[in-house]
C-alpha cells in the first residue's frame, strides 16, 4: 500500500468516526421538542383552556386573564362536571360578572394510549344567550299580538326542515296540547284533499320567487263541522335568492266564509229578483254611465251593449235630455215619480211611469236607481 493511499484511508476513517461520535453526542443531549411545542400552542390559545394530568391542573394565559382571582374557583367548578362532551354553566369572570359559558372536554392520553387526564376549552356564550332570550321575548310578544287578532304563528327553517308552530296554531289545527308537530307535513297533511293541489302549487311558486307573499285559504281535512283557515307567509332568502326560511300566520275563517257565503246567496237572490221583474229596472250614475240594467230593460233596448254607456249613447237626444231632467229632479228636488216616453225597437212610443230612488255608496258617491212601469201594463 502506498503512502498516499494509506493517508487517504486514514482521513476517511477519521471522518466516519467524527460523524458517529457527533451523532451519539447529539442523541444523548437532544431534548424532546414535542412537549415544548405543545405547551407553546396551549399557552398561546386565544380561548381560555385547561388540562389536568394526574393531580396537576394547568391553565393557559387566556384562562388566567379571563378569570383572574376567580381562576381557582372556576377550576373547582369545572371539576364537578363529567369530563366528556360539552356542558353549559355560569362562571365568574375577573370583573366579578357571572356569564354563561360552554365548556368542551376531551380526554388526555399517555404514550401507551392510556387516559392520563383531561383537557378543555371555555367559550363565552353570554351574548348569544342574551340574543336568544331577546328573540324569545320578541317571539312571545308577536304571538300575543297575533293571538289578540285571532291569528297563529309558524316559522319554517327550510335548511333543517323543522317548523315551530305556536300553541294557537296547534289548537286551530286540532292538535292536542301535549303533541309537538315540527315538520311541514304537520300542516300539509291536514289540508283538505280538494285544496291540496292549489296549496302545493302556490307554495312552490312562492319558494321559486314567483310571488311576493304566499297567501291561501283552504279547508281542514276531516274537520267536523268543516273548518276554513287563511295562511299567509313570506320567504326569507339568502344572497343567492334561495329561500332559507319562511315565517307566516294562520287564522281560522270558518265564520267569515259562512258569512260571505250567506251574503253571496242573498246577492244572488236579489239579482234573480231584479232579473225576473216584468218592469224595466236600472242603476246609473247621475250624468254618467249605467251600472245595471235588468233583463227586461236589455230586451227593450234590443240587447245592445249598454255597459259603461251614458243616456246620450243609448237614447236619442230628446229622450236623453228628459232622463237628465228626471235625474236632476230626483237628486236636488226629491221628486221620485216621473213620466217618460220611450221608443221601442219598432219605433212605437210607450209611456212609462218612473219611480226613482237615491243610493248612497261606500265611496260617498251617490247613484240613482229606478223602475220604469209601462202605464198600460196590467197584472
Asked whether residue 27 is domain-assigned, the answer is no
Report how many domains make up the chain: 3
Mean pLDDT, 10 residues at a time, the chain of 379 residues: 47 46 46 47 84 86 90 91 89 89 88 84 83 66 61 92 92 92 95 96 96 95 92 94 93 90 84 87 86 91 89 91 91 90 86 90 78 75
For residues 318 and 363, membership in a common domain is answered with yes
Asked whether residue 133 is domain-assigned, the answer is no
Asked whether residue 245 is domain-assigned, the answer is yes
Q: Are 310 and 288 in contact (CB under 8 A)?
A: yes
The pLDDT score that the predictor gives to residue 378 is: 52
Dmax (CA) of the chain: 160
What domain range is 66 assigned to?
A: 34-124
pLDDT in tens, 254-298: 999 888 888 888 888 888 888 888 899 999 987 789 999 999 999
For residues 159 and 196, membership in a common domain is answered with yes
The pLDDT score that the predictor gives to residue 187 is: 96
219: domain CATH number is 3.30.450.20
149 DSSP 8-state letter: T
pLDDT in tens, 51-104: 888 788 889 988 999 999 999 999 999 999 988 888 999 999 988 889 999 999
Measured between alpha carbons, how far is 359 from 190 in angstroms, rounded to an integer?
Answer: 45
The pLDDT score that the predictor gives to residue 144 is: 60
Cis peptide before 225 (omega within 30 of 0): yes
Domain boundary among 257, 291, 308: 257
Asked whether residue 49 is domain-assigned, the answer is yes
175 DSSP 8-state letter: -
3-state secondary structure of 127: helix
Amino acid at each position: 500500500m502506498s503512502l498516499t493511499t494509506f493517508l487517504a484511508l486514514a482521513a476517511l476513517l477519521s471522518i466516519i468516526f467524527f460523524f458517529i461520535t457527533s451523532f451519539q453526542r447529539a442523541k444523548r443531549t437532544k431534548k424532546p421538542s414535542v412537549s415544548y411545542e405543545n405547551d407553546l400552542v396551549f399557552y398561546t390559545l386565544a380561548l381560555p383552556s385547561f388540562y389536568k394530568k394526574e393531580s396537576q391542573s394547568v391553565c393557559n394565559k387566556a384562562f388566567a386573564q379571563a378569570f383572574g382571582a376567580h381562576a381557582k374557583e372556576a377550576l373547582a367548578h369545572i371539576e364537578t362536571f363529567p369530563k366528556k362532551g360539552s356542558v353549559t354553566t355560569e362562571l365568574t369572570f375577573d370583573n366579578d360578572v357571572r356569564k354563561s359559558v360552554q365548556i368542551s372536554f376531551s380526554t388526555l392520553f399517555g404514550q401507551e394510549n392510556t387516559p392520563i387526564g383531561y383537557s378543555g376549552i371555555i367559550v363565552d356564550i353570554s351574548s348569544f344567550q342574551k340574543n336568544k332570550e331577546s328573540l324569545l321575548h320578541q317571539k312571545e310578544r308577536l304571538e300575543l299580538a297575533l293571538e289578540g287578532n285571532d291569528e297563529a304563528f309558524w316559522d319554517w327553517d327550510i335548511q333543517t326542515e323543522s317548523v315551530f308552530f305556536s300553541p294557537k296554531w296547534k289548537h286551530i289545527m286540532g292538535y292536542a296540547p301535549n303533541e309537538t308537530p315540527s315538520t311541514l307535513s304537520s300542516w300539509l297533511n291536514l289540508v283538505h284533499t280538494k285544496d291540496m293541489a292549489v296549496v302545493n302549487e302556490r307554495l312552490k311558486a312562492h319558494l321559486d320567487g314567483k310571488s311576493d307573499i304566499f297567501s291561501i285559504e283552504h279547508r281542514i281535512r276531516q274537520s267536523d263541522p268543516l273548518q276554513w283557515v287563511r295562511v299567509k307567509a313570506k320567504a326569507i332568502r339568502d344572497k343567492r335568492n334561495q329561500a332559507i326560511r319562511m315565517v307566516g300566520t294562520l287564522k281560522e275563517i270558518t265564520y267569515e266564509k259562512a258569512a260571505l257565503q250567506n251574503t253571496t246567496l242573498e246577492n244572488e237572490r236579489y239579482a234573480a229578483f231584479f232579473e225576473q221583474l216584468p218592469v224595466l229596472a236600472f242603476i246609473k250614475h247621475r250624468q254618467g254611465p249605467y251600472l245595471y240594467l235588468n233583463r227586461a230593460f236589455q230586451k227593450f233596448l234590443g240587447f245592445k251593449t249598454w255597459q259603461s254607456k251614458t243616456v246620450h249613447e243609448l237614447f236619442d237626444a230628446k229622450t236623453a235630455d228628459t232622463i237628465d231632467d228626471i235625474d236632476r229632479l230626483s237628486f236636488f228636488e226629491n221628486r221620485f215619480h216621473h213620466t217618460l216616453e220611450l221608443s221601442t225597437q219598432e219605433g212605437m212610443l210607450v209611456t212609462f211611469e218612473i219611480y226613482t230612488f237615491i243610493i248612497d255608496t261606500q265611496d260617498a258617491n251617490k247613484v240613482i236607481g229606478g223602475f220604469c212601469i209601462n202605464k198600460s201594463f196590467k197584472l
